[in-house]
Structure 1
């Protein structure tokens, strides 16, 4: 068996020996069409929910209200009995951009949220933890007492309903999931949970891992 000394093998020789192998392993095909795992999932349609597509506007109506969203031209809607499915119009991936492929899954997710919202409103639970922390609803505003000199006022969007079952909790509800979660995130932003005492505003049962205080000598 012949051994090679490091001094006898140059960089050019190494590239010559291993370049063909590298080229062969880096080849892959992009011609196959990879469907979106979210986009290809069907949506169960309750009996009291109707869907209509009008000039690229998808309307979803149910007992709790109506929602609308844009529907891209490169997608199509197919209904089978009590379920609907979003399909891509083009079978060739080369005809679509990455953004269009991503919008396939996004459109399906939004439609699923709308179908659930018009039949069963979305809810978000907000809890305040801290000495003196309080929340109240006055008219169209939420007043938060979270350690500042003055109470923080947060306006309630017309699409969201807010209940105040206790001084330290709020229940947000609405048919539009995005509106509900945006309001919850805005409320939380005024006093995010801190990692030492755990004080702050928590949303939907979130938990944080508390840290040990450092002793400063």
Structure 2
């Protein structure tokens, strides 16, 4: 069956700047893939991350390179040999799953042999700002089950405490995005416990993660 595979760059402006320890985003840049054939259309998305050496242009080029293979009938399994892991392959893979499910008048879950997806609580993210601004943002979401609090090393304790005071009920994830040292992870354990933090995500630079193996943390 003849199929086409096309990709484009979509940019979605954010309502407010999204600050983490590594920088600020004002828009979401997404690569959108469309696979079409036999009267069916499948769509997928990927977000190239500069942190991992990815760019929009590189992702679009990778997808253009495999488009002839998709047109000739290549499937999802063929992508593992044809494309490196990353945003581009994710977008094509998702589009093929979607296309196959529609062509079979089925669902992705059924094709994968798994149970249909059930509702899952996802985290609302509170981006880095002043403690007062983060408290105001948390107060607007105090009813949700899960918050993720972005911090760096500059004012983390005050930021986390402000969010917790404004939103007593939600479970908390604290995400320093690689900005802490192992000394800070150890010193701030009691504070994290006091603020009822459930998870500390990616506190250390990627090359220093091994230090976490040597500590026993209650978080």
State TM-score, norm by structure 2.
0.25
Q: Higher Cα Rg: structure 1 or 2?
A: 1
* Higher share of residues assigned strand: 1
* Higher share of residues assigned helix: 2
State TM-score, norm by structure 1.
0.25
